[in-house]
């Protein structure tokens, strides 16, 4: 991994990129990277994340600044601006049940061809999807999902890029690390190699391309 500045991150993320962004209502979202994307006006983004958070937080800020073309999320209820843009036809919104989204991301990073889930059977989520019956029970075939770039938030890492997450800021982050061609992580601090115990490291540094430190321009 390579430690870079926030400005360099924004240069790595081109307009039109498909992003995965960690976080749950902004908790565990790399806010510093998002602020830099806004400063640089990186537009036409497709964003895969749990939700569009709030207008002044997380992915919500990208929506509010009209930098998203499409969002693939499980929830937009806390961000009226997402709903407004969707109804006005300015933003494409694909709603995915949260557990299905987690498994689609996981499948994308795990080399799987899809997953079978009972969630959504018989509802509007089933529309256009293959229904498979296994041992008498119906499942939807949900396809894997990947991104060009994953924007990840971790509490800290060492100089190998080994990641330690914090509490409920973990959420989608460890799954998204595996499902993108390039991985950029925002951490609160970088610590020397050897100071993290093997069992507190939840993502191996060998998977990380770039690291930025929160608040360090």
Partner 1 sequence: MPVDPKEKIARRVAYELKEGYLVNLGIGLPTLVANYIPEGVHVYFQSENGIIGMGPEPEKGFENKDLTNAGAGFVTALPGAMTFDSAFSFILIRGGHLDVTVLGGLQVDEEGHLANWMVPGKMVPGMGGAMDLVTGANKVIVAMTHTAKGEPKIVKKCSLPLTSVRRVDLIVTELAVIQPIDEGLLLKEISEETTLEEVLRLTEARLIVSSELARF
Residues in contact with partner 1 by the rule CB under 8 A = 24-28, 50-51, 53-54, 73-78, 83, 86, 95, 97-103, 105-106, 117-125, 155, 165-175
How near is the Cβ of 168 to partner 1 at its closest, in Å? 5
Nearest Cα to Cα of residue 147 among 71, 56, 46: 46
What are the CA-CA distances from residue 185 to residues 99, 157, 176, 209 (Å)?
23, 9, 11, 8
How near is the Cβ of 194 to partner 1 at its closest, in Å? 25
Element containing residue 94 per DSSP (H, E): strand 92-95
Nearer to partner 1, 130 or 168 (CB): 168
**What is d(CA 81, CA 93) in angstroms, rounded to the nearest whole number?**
12
Cβ proximity of 37 and 168 under 8 Å: no
Look at phi and psi of residue 120 and say left if phi exceeds 0, alpha if psi is from -120 to 50, else beta.
left
How near is the Cβ of 11 to partner 1 at its closest, in Å? 28
Nearer to partner 1, 24 or 210 (CB): 24
How near is the Cβ of 206 to partner 1 at its closest, in Å? 19
Nearer to partner 1, 10 or 205 (CB): 205
How near is the Cβ of 96 to partner 1 at its closest, in Å? 8
Cβ proximity of 168 and 27 under 8 Å: yes
27 three-class SS: strand
**What is d(CA 192, CA 210) in angstroms, rounded to the nearest whole number?**
16
């Amino acid at each position: 991994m390579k430690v870079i500045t926030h400005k360099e991150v924004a240069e790595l993320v081109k307009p039109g990129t498909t992003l995965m962004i960690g976080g749950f209502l902004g908790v565990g979202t790399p806010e510093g990277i998002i602020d830099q994307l806004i400063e640089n006006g990186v537009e036409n983004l497709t964003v895969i994340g749990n939700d569009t958070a709030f207008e002044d937080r997380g992915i919500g800020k990208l929506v509010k600044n009209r930098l998203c073309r499409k969002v693939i999320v499980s929830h937009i209820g806390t961000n009226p601006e997402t709903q407004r843009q969707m109804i006005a036809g300015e933003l494409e919104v694909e709603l995915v049940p949260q557990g299905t989204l987690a498994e689609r991301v996981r499948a994308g990073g795990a080399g799987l061809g899809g997953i079978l889930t009972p969630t959504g059977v018989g509802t509007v989520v089933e529309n256009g999807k293959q229904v498979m019956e296994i041992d008498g029970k119906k499942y939807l075939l949900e396809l894997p999902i990947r991104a060009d770039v994953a924007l990840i938030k971790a509490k800290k890492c060492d100089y190998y890029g080994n990641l330690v997450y914090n509490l409920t800021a973990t959420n989608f982050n460890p799954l998204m690390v595996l499902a993108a061609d390039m991985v950029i992580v925002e951490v609160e601090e970088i610590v020397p190699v050897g100071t993290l115990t093997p069992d507190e490291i939840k993502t191996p540094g060998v998977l990380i391309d770039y690291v930025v430190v929160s608040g360090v321009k």
